[in-house]
Every structure is written in structure tokens, then in C-alpha cells.
Amino acid sequence: MFKSNKIHLNPNAYFCRNRRRQLDIAQHIAKLVKTGTGFWEHFRGSKYGKALRNKYILTAVIFIAWLLLFDQNNLSERRKSSREYNQLLEEKAYYLKKIDEDRKRINELKTNNDNLEKFAREQYLMKKDNEDIFVIVDE
């Protein structure tokens, strides 16, 4: 009755068109599998492969990998701790500088009464009995 406008393709048509490409891919995979096994055979015969067959060296390598990757004090935790330590050192230097400035300021206030009076007037708005204070605020 009704004709559909859909194009019906043979599912084998795609395979036929790309048959050469699929064969190339299959050959490439087979080559990778062959070279993969050859790689392991080559690795086992090398000095590193022979060294890893030694149970003590293999245990040491696994232990070091465990420490570097999975342990409580792994590399990322050590890096984070190092950053935090450096930040704390910077804060320490800042606060030591502030303490030194405050010590100098206290020494000035204790030794010179004029500085003490100036500090009291500016910071605490103190005044003498016969004076009036006007505070001017910049907006």
C-alpha cells in the first residue's frame, strides 16, 4: 500500500565495502599480539627481567611501589604536607615580623611620654578636661 522512503541496505554491503580495511585491522591486531608476546619474552631475557625474577628484588620493588602509591604517607600526602609546612613557615615569618614591630612600638610608648599621650589620643580618643574631640570620618 504505502511505500516507505527509507533506504534498505544490505547489512553485508558495509562489510563488503570495508572488507579490505577490516582485514588490515585484523592483521594489525595479530601483529600486536605476536609482538606483545615477543616483548614479554624479550623482557624476561633482559637484565631487568632477570633481576625481577629474584624474589628479594621483586619484594623490594613491590614494597617501594606500595609506599609510594598506597601507604598513609604516600607521595601526594607528602607533597600536601610539604606545602602546608612551607605555608606555616611563611606565616611564622610574618608573625615574627609583627611581634618585632609591636615590641618596638611598646618600647617607644614606655620610654617617651609624648608618644604615649599621642597614642592614647589617637587610638582611644582620650582628652584633657578642658578639651573637646571632633572625629572626622572620611567616606
Number of other residues whose CB lies within 10 A of the CB of residue 5: 5
What total number of domains does the chain contain?
Answer: 1
Quick check: is 81 in a domain? yes
Number of other residues whose CB lies within 10 A of the CB of residue 61: 13
Quick check: is 117 in a domain? yes
Domain housing 82: 75-139
Quick check: is 10 in a domain? no
pTM: 0.46
Quick check: is 9 in a domain? no
Quick check: is 59 in a domain? no
| pLDDT one-digit tens code per residue, 9-67 | 455 555 555 566 666 777 766 776 666 566 666 667 777 777 777 788 888 888 888 88
Quick check: is 103 in a domain? yes
Interval 87-99 mean pLDDT: 97
